[in-house]
C-alpha cells in the first residue's frame, strides 16, 4: 500500500527530506537557528519537525517566527505528550500551546511523542479524532512506537474515524531495529516514515574517532545509546569508505538511511550551517547499490523477526 502524500495547506507536497529543529533555542541560538532554517529552505526543504518538549518551547517559538511569512507553503510537524502522558487534558493543553508558539491555527502533522502505558488508547484517540474534526491538525503520526503498538493504535484510531499517516522512529547505521518489523509494516500498511538521528548523535560523522565529544560526552542518554565499541568500529569503517571516495561520512550516513525504500521523509538536523552542509549534500547524492551494500556490511544487521531465518 502506498502512503498518503503529505502536503502543505496550499497543496505543495512535503519535501523528501525534513529538517529537525531540536537544536533551535538550545545549541543553536536564535540567529543561528534562522540561518539553519534559511539554509534548509534554500536546499528545497519545506517540511520542518519540532516538538512541544524541545528546548522549553523555544524550538516551536522560533520556528513559528521563521515560517510566518510563507506558512501555507510549508509542512510543520510537532509532537505532544512527551512526558506527562497522552491523556486528553495533556493533549489538548499542549496542542493549544504549540499552535500559539507556532503562530498557526492548524498544525500540519501532530505526533504522539511516545507510547503511554498509563492512558487508554480509547481516551487518546477519541480526543485526537475530535481535535482533527475541529480542524486543529491535518495529519496524525506516532513517534517511538513499536510495530505492535502502532498497529494497536491504528486499529483504535480507525474506530474513531481517524488514521495514522506517519511514523517517526530512530534509524541509522548502528540503530537498525526498525528494519525487522517497523519498516516492513510501514510498507505493507501505507505509513509514511520520517526517521530521526541518521547521524547517530554525531557518531557517524567520524568526528569521535579519537574519543568521545559533543552530545556523546555531554548527554547521558546519547552516551548510553551510542557509547559502544562495535558502534565506534562501524563509524570508523564508514569513515574509511568515505575517505576512499572523497565524500563526507555524514553525507553517506544520511544517504544510506534515505536509500531504504520504506523511508519517505528522513529528518536531518544540525547546530550550525557548517555542520548541516554534509547532510544537505546527501539530498542530491546518488548512492549506488554496490556502495549501499558496502556500507550496510560495515555494521550489524538486526536479527529477523522469527527464529526460522534458516528458511529464507
Catalytic residues: 54
Dihedral of the CA atoms 299, 302, 304, 309 (nearest 10)?
Answer: 40
Q: Do the beta carbons of residue 98 and residue 80 sit within 8 Å? A: yes
- The dihedrals phi and psi of 46, each to the nearest 5 degrees, come to -130, 10
How many whole angstroms separate alpha carbon 207 and alpha carbon 259?
A: 23
Closest residue by Cα to residue 45 from 257, 287, 268 = 268
Residue reference for cell 544517504? 255
Q: How many CB atoms lie within 10 A of CB 56?
A: 10
Alpha helices in the chain (DSSP H): 30-42, 58-67, 88-101, 121-133, 147-159, 182-189, 214-218, 220-226, 229-245, 249-259, 273-282, 289-296
How many whole angstroms separate alpha carbon 149 and alpha carbon 155?
A: 10
Q: Provide the phi-psi class of 279: left if phi over 0, else alpha when psi is between -120 and 50, else beta.
A: alpha
Answer positive or negative: Cα dihedral of 35, 39, 44, 50: negative
Edge-first strand listing for the sheet containing 75-80: 192-193, 166-168, 137-143, 107-112, 75-80, 47-49, 18-20, 267-268
DSSP letter, residue 267? E
SS3 20: strand
β-pair partners for 54: none
Answer positive or negative: Cα dihedral of 279, 228, 299, 222: negative
Amino acid at each position: 500500500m502506498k502512503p498518503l502524500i503529505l502536503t502543505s495547506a496550499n497543496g505543495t507536497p512535503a519535501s523528501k527530506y525534513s529538517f529537525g529543529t531540536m537544536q533551535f533555542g538550545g545549541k543553536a541560538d536564535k540567529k543561528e537557528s534562522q540561518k539553519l532554517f534559511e539554509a534548509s529552505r534554500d536546499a528545497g526543504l519545506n517540511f520542518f519537525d519540532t516538538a512541544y518538549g524541545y528546548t522549553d518551547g523555544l524550538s516551536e517559538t522560533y520556528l513559528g517566527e521563521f515560517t510566518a511569512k510563507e506558512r501555507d507553503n510549508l509542512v510543520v510537524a510537532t509532537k505532544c505528550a512527551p512526558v506527562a502522558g497522552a491523556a486528553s487534558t495533556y493533549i489538548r493543553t499542549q496542542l493549544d500551546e504549540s499552535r500559539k508558539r507556532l503562530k498557526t491555527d492548524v498544525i500540519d502533522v501532530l505526533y504522539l511523542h511516545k507510547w503511554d502505558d498509563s492512558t487508554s488508547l480509547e481516551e487518546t484517540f477519541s480526543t485526537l479524532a475530535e481535535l482533527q474534526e475541529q480542524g486543529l491538525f491535518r495529519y496524525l503520526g506516532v513517534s517511538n512506537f513499536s510495530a505492535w503498538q502502532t498497529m494497536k493504535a491504528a486499529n483504535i484510531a480507525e474506530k474513531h474515524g481517524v488514521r495514522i499517516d506517519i511514523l517517526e522512529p530512530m534509524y541509522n547505521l548502528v540503530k537498525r531495529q526498525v528494519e525487522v518489523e517497523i519498516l516492513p509494516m510501514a510498507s505493507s500498511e501505507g505509513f509514511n516514515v520520517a526517521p530521526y538521528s541518521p547521524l547517530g548523535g554525531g557518531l557517524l560523522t567520524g568526528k569521535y574517532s579519537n574519543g568521545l565529544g559533543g552530545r556523546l560526552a555531554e548527554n547521558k542518554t546519547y552516551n548510553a545509546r551510542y557509547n559502544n565499541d562495535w558502534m565506534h568500529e562501524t563509524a570508523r569503517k564508514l569513515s574509511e569508505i568515505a575517505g576512499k571516495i572523497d565524500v563526507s561520512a555524514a553525507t553517506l550516513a544520511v544517504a544510506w538511511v534515505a536509500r531504504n525504500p520504506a523511508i519517505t521523509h528522513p529528518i536531518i538536523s544540525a547546530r550550525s550551517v557548517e555542520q548541516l552542509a554534509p547532510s544537505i549534500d546527501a539530498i542530491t547524492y546518488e548512492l549506488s547499490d554496490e556502495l549501499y551494500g558496502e556500507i550496510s556490511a560495515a555494521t550489524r544487521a538486526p536479527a529477523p523477526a522469527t527464529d526460522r531465518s534458516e528458511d529464507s
